[in-house]
């Protein structure tokens, strides 16, 4: 799809914000899934570990499989819209996980999260790489990768207070909301910045 070139690297900022929220949602799941499952599925620590392991396997496997189909989706609806839709599905997955009280519902949530994960781990990098045409690819990617690292740092620093202040279920729900906000921002900010 044709696009209007954008000078400089200012297009990194909206993508940075979207990625920050998206990865923040995923980290909320990774950090708080185990205590959530243990309490809300009423299982032992061992069974909770197994259930979360199954869920994560579903997320990763489905995300990897969908990655092969992304070029077809890009060609049909464009990268920005594809990413926004994936974030909506990923956010829905986190909300489903937060409300899950049985294993089938939990796995369904992880499957939806896998659809979001497939795009989070691929589409932003595709958008950035195709827009960096001025010989600053390495610099652009180095800055962009901060959008992955900073959520980890923020969550790690705030983890103790978060655990004391809110329940794991609420943290996962907040992660879903963060993904939905990221989806909306994708349509508003990225379409403006990337002209796709």
Separation of alpha carbons 146 and 74, rounded Å: 25
CATH fold label, 12-194: Growth Hormone; Chain: A; (1.20.1250)
Q: What is the pLDDT of residue 109?
A: 96
Per-residue pLDDT tens for 25-59?
A: 998 899 899 999 998 888 888 899 999 999 999 99
Token pair for 1: 């799809």
CA nearest neighbour of 63 among 127, 125, 113: 113
* Mean pLDDT on 60-80: 92
14-28, 65-79, 81-95, 100-114: least confidently modelled range? 14-28
Per-residue pLDDT tens for 140-163?
A: 777 777 767 777 787 777 766 766
Q: For residue 177, how many C-alpha atoms fall within 13 Å in the half-sphere facing its CB?
A: 7
What confidence category does residue 179 fall into, taking pLDDT thresholds of 50, 70 and 90?
very high
* Mean pLDDT on 121-129: 84
What confidence category does residue 173 fall into, taking pLDDT thresholds of 50, 70 and 90?
very high
What confidence category does residue 192 fall into, taking pLDDT thresholds of 50, 70 and 90?
low
* Mean pLDDT on 115-143: 79
Rounded to the nearest 5 degrees, what angle is found at the Cα of 88, between the Cα atoms of 14 and 49?
A: 110
Q: Is 21 exposed, middle or buried (0-12, 13-18, 19+ CB in 10 A)?
A: buried
Domain ranges of the chain: 12-194
Q: What is the pLDDT of residue 42?
A: 82
What confidence category does residue 3 fall into, taking pLDDT thresholds of 50, 70 and 90?
very low
Residue ranges of alpha helices (H) inside the chain are 12-40, 45-67, 70-77, 79-99, 103-120, 123-131, 137-144, 146-165, 168-185, 191-194
What confidence category does residue 7 fall into, taking pLDDT thresholds of 50, 70 and 90?
very low
Q: What is the pLDDT of residue 4?
A: 35
Residue 157: Cβ within 10 Å count: 10
pTM of the model: 0.85
Q: Is 10 helix (H, G, I), strand (E, B) or coil?
A: coil
Token pair for 42: 């009423």
């Amino acid at each position: 799809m044709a696009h209007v070139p954008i000078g400089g690297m200012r297009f990194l900022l909206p993508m940075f914000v979207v990625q920050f929220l998206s990865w923040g949602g995923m980290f909320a799941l990774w950090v708080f899934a185990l205590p959530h499952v243990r309490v809300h599925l009423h299982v032992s620590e061992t069974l909770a570990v197994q259930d979360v392991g199954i869920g994560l396997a579903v997320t990763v496997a489905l995300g990897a499989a969908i990655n092969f189909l992304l070029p077809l989706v890009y060609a049909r609806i464009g990268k920005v819209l594809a990413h926004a839709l994936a974030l909506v599905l990923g956010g829905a997955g986190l909300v489903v996980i937060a409300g899950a009280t049985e294993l089938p519902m939990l796995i369904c949530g992880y499957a939806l999260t896998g659809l979001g994960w497939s795009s989070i781990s691929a589409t932003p990098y595709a958008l950035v790489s195709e827009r960096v045409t001025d010989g600053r690819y390495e610099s652009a990617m180095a800055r962009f990768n901060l959008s992955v690292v900073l959520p980890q740092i923020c969550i790690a620093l705030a983890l103790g207070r978060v655990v004391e202040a809110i329940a794991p279920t609420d943290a996962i729900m907040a992660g879903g909301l963060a993904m939905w906000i990221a989806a909306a921002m994708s349509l508003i900010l990225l379409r403006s910045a990337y002209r796709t």
